[in-house]
Structure 1
Amino acid sequence: MTERNSRIRVAIVDDHTLFRVGLREIIENQKDMEVVGEAGDAYNALTLVAQVKPDVLLLDVSIPGGDVTDNIHEIGEVSPTTRIVILSMQDAPELILELVGLGIRGYLHKSASWDELIAAIRMATPGTDRVLLAVSRQSLLGMPAGAANKPSSGPLSPRELEVLELVAKAMSNAQIAAEIMLTEATVKRHLHNIFVKLGAVSRIDAVNKATAASLISNGG
């Protein structure tokens, strides 16, 4: 009983059933781990995490139903102690840095070996702040030193543009959240990022600057 309770409780979120089956088999072959649930999309992932509160969540970067940054924030809201390890076919430095800044504990390209996966799960448990990256050398060389600790100042993401388009229509945060199926807290986070990136001081200022730069259409 004590041994079972000491196992690392892992949940798997990926939209490919065969991939999930393979991950489950690898994890359940480890004496110190157990799989406590699976999901294939963002909605069911959030429901699963809220119910089982896994120690570690293996999260595919591009599951249906949500942007990965939204998924990470919403998972953190329902289970703050769950550590997230990202699984991805993308090897993009900017994406990796953004997600590390959001607190993920690992980023593994799907070509990573099973022992790298197991190491990432074990490293993600409490007691260490280290992050395991299993990506290409080219991707690592593309990361500027210290960039993970700096606020994003790059172009607006597709989700941020979507939020700003709705702001331009004079929609409230609650209305925007309902319209694009996010939490109101996530909408506020997107707005904060928009203000930082555009150097805006208000919603109106952000809309005006984005319209002037032809990033969005005029809300009127």
Structure 2
Amino acid sequence: MAERSTPVRRIGLVEDHESVALGLAAMLADQADLELVCAAPTVDALLAQHDDLDLAILDLRLSDGSSPKCNVEQLRAAGLETLVFTGAENAFFVRSAARAGVLGVVRKSEPAAVVVDAIRIAASGGQVASTEWAAAIDGDPELGDVGLSPRQLEVLELYASGEKLDRVARLTGLAPQTVNDYLQRIRAKYAEAGRPAPTKTDLYKRAIEDGWLPIPEREDARRRA
């Protein structure tokens, strides 16, 4: 009886650093069931090259300034599930991608065997469990969890990003006093977790730490982009 051949999963990589693309290609070179078909610096470029891929591997921070959430949504709209391959240095980016429905998150610093195994699982449609994945869903395990409700989180994101209390009330459909009550509860939860946030600036810092707001870019990084 003839042996059934192993299906080859076709992989596309969205990555604008050539060294990373070359490294991933080397990792997959001797894998009979995985083939890196193409690498592109943007999602648009990847989709223009190939429409018969089994999995997209996505770097979160791309030089075109695109958001992880939009990139994942664009890939999934094209019928491509996505695995995030990242340095995971920005909790906001990781969480944003997780919310958009990626199959998992794997660090670039992981051993090659771990990366290959994650790609194999994702290419077959499986979820890739990892510390980064858990952190994206549940928050950074090294930070005290404050257990914010979805409504409290909505208020925190708006207020900490610079909106005034009255405008937060208008945007959320809540009464100003209700927004103020939410903010008091949020501050109390942070204090209970050992991460006090008595001022608006402190709330902004906590929101960045927890990945609810993006890390502000340095001026020199913006000039290079």
By the TM > 0.5 criterion, same fold? yes
Which amino acid in structure 2 is aligned with residue 26 of structure 1? M
SS at match of 1:52: coil
Report if the CA contact (8 A) 1:93-1:143 is conserved. no
Q: Aligned residue for 1:25? A: 26
Q: Aligned residue for 1:91? A: 89
Which amino acid in structure 2 is aligned with residue 121 of structure 1? I
Distance 1:41 1:129, change over 3 A: closer
Looking at structure 2, the residues matched to 9 and 64 of structure 1 have their Cα atoms a distance apart, in angstroms, of: 25
Looking at structure 2, the residues matched to 13 and 28 of structure 1 have their Cα atoms a distance apart, in angstroms, of: 18
Looking at structure 1, the residues matched to 147 and 129 of structure 2 have their Cα atoms a distance apart, in angstroms, of: 14
Q: Aligned residue for 1:67? A: 67
Distance 1:124 1:150, change over 3 A: farther
Q: Could you tell me the percent identity over the aligned residues? A: 18
Q: Select between 134-143 and 88-97 the one with higher mean Cα deviation.
A: 134-143
Describe the superposition over 1:92-146 as per-residue Cα deviations: whole angstroms up to 9, x where unpaired: 4444333222211121222122112112112213453454445899943348599
Which amino acid in structure 1 is aligned with residue 61 of structure 2? S
Distance 1:10 1:145, change over 3 A: farther
The residue correspondences of 1:40-55 to structure 2 (distance < 5 A) are 40-48=41-49, 51-55=50-54
Q: Aligned residue for 1:175? A: none
Report if the CA contact (8 A) 2:40-2:46 is conserved. yes
How well do the aligned residues superpose, as a CA RMSD in angstroms?
A: 3.8
Report if the CA contact (8 A) 1:93-1:140 is conserved. no
Q: Aligned residue for 2:206? A: none
Whether 1:199 and 2:172 are equivalent positions in the alignment is yes
Give 1 or 2 for the bigger CA radius of gyration.
2
Unaligned runs of 5+ in 1: 162-194, 202-220
Report if the CA contact (8 A) 1:42-1:64 is conserved. no
Distance 1:83 1:127, change over 3 A: closer
User: Which residue of the other structure, out of 102, 106, 131, is the alignment partner of 1:108?
Assistant: 106
**Structure 1 residue 57: Cα displacement:** 1.1
Which amino acid in structure 2 is aligned with residue 155 of structure 1? E
Looking at structure 2, the residues matched to 198 and 115 of structure 1 have their Cα atoms a distance apart, in angstroms, of: 47
Distance 1:95 1:61, change over 3 A: closer
Q: Aligned residue for 1:188? A: none
Report if the CA contact (8 A) 1:14-1:59 is conserved. yes
Which amino acid in structure 1 is aligned with residue 18 of structure 2? T
Whether 1:35 and 2:1 are equivalent positions in the alignment is no
Q: Aligned residue for 1:167? A: none
The number of residues matched between the two structures is: 158
Whether 1:58 and 2:57 are equivalent positions in the alignment is yes
Q: Aligned residue for 1:76? A: 76
Q: Aligned residue for 1:123? A: 121
Higher relative contact order (CA 8 A, sep 6+): 2
Report if the CA contact (8 A) 2:57-2:83 is conserved. yes
Whether 1:3 and 2:5 are equivalent positions in the alignment is yes
SS at match of 2:45: helix
Report if the CA contact (8 A) 2:15-2:59 is conserved. yes
Describe the superposition over 1:22-81 as per-residue Cα deviations: whole angstroms up to 9, x where unpaired: 111111221211111110124313323xx33321211110113311111111111122xx
Distance 1:133 1:12, change over 3 A: farther
Distance 1:7 1:200, change over 3 A: farther
